[in-house]
Amino acid sequence: MLYYFKNLSLSRGAWFLLMLSSIILEGVALYFQHGMGLVPCVMCIYERVALFGILFAAILGFMGNRYAILRWFAILIWLGSAFKGFSLSLKHHDYQVNPSPWNQCEFKVDFPQTLPLDKWLPDVFAPGPVNCSESQWEMLGLSMAQWLIFTFAIYLIFAIIVLISQFKRSTPKNRLMFR
């Protein structure tokens, strides 16, 4: 199985699928915001940034899949973004199931001064005046934060498998006992 994932990481098709899935999820998030009128909270914006990290890793892996250093860098960015998105989604879900005055998200996003995404692209990265403990949307009885937990967990599992597979050779040696 690890040989399979190692060979997938060497192909552009797998990186394209990772890129496509993250673009689709970002498009769905923007549709929820601008098409359906759902106002994103601060945690939603942070989760969106984590998904953009996965998109950046997919683009890097797509362009440099044959170069080990770029592939490793892409996998590590993918792993870090998936882990951060997973932990943010868990915290967001905690805000929703345990609402209290001392368990609330920030009022505004806290991007570094050198990368003020909320000022550069306010239609994408600026949160609205909504509390993170409010659940604005549900599907099949699960909130958006719960769906993001599931999504980032899938990304994280595959990133771990691909990372482990990098220690295998790309093609297994044929070991014939009787030659």
Distance CA 121, CA 99 (A): 30
Q: Give me the catalytic one of 12, 41, 66, 169.
A: 41
Determine phi and psi for 138, rounding to 5 degrees: -140, 150
Q: Give me the catalytic one of 12, 66, 71, 132.
A: 132
48 catalytically annotated: yes
Q: How many CB atoms lie within 10 A of CB 13?
A: 10
169 catalytically annotated: no
Q: Give me the catalytic one of 12, 66, 71, 105.
A: 105
Of 80, 90, 91, the residue nearest 56 (C-alpha): 80
66 catalytically annotated: no
Question: 65 near 11, Cβ under 8 Å?
Answer: yes
Q: Give me the catalytic one of 48, 66, 71, 175.
A: 48
Distance CA 166, CA 68 (A): 9
Residues annotated as part of the active site? 41, 44, 48, 105, 132
